[in-house]
Amino acid sequence: MALTPEDTEKLLAFVKREPRTMQDIAHLLGRSWLTADSYVQQVKERTGLVSVKVFRKGSPGALKLVYYNHADSLAGEDLRTELFRQIRAGRRKTDFDFFEVYQHVLDEKKSSALQAPLIPLLRQASRSVLCFSGNLSFLTAREGKQRVLSAVDELVERGVRVKVLCRVNAATMSNLSLLRPLMGKGLIEVRHCYQPLRGFVIDDSLASFRTEESAGMYRAGELAADASVVYEVRDAEWVAWLQKVFWQLYRTAPDHETRVRQLERL
Per-residue pLDDT of the chain (266 residues; tens, 9 = 90+): 788 989 999 999 999 888 999 999 999 999 999 999 999 999 998 888 898 888 777 666 668 899 888 755 554 568 888 999 999 999 999 899 999 999 999 999 999 988 888 999 999 999 999 999 999 999 999 998 899 999 999 999 999 999 999 999 988 888 999 998 898 888 999 999 999 999 999 999 999 999 876 545 445 544 444 567 899 999 998 999 999 999 999 999 999 988 888 888 87
Does residue 178 contact residue 140 with C-beta atoms inside 8 Å?
Answer: yes
Q: Which one, of 150, 152, 132, 148, lies nearest residue 140 by Cα?
A: 148
pLDDT at position 60, please? 62
CATH of 5-69, one of 1.10.10.10, 3.30.930.10, 3.40.50.280, 1.10.3720.10: 1.10.10.10
CATH topology for 73-264 is: Endonuclease; Chain A (3.30.870)
Q: Please report the pLDDT score of residue 11 as a whole number.
A: 94
Model pTM score: 0.77
Predicted confidence at residue 223, as pLDDT, reads 41
Per-residue pLDDT at 69:
82
- List the domain boundaries for the chain: 5-69, 73-264
Q: What's residue 214's pLDDT?
A: 56
- Look at residue 184 in the predicted model and tell me its pLDDT: 85
pLDDT at residue number 220: 53
The pLDDT assigned to 2 comes to 84
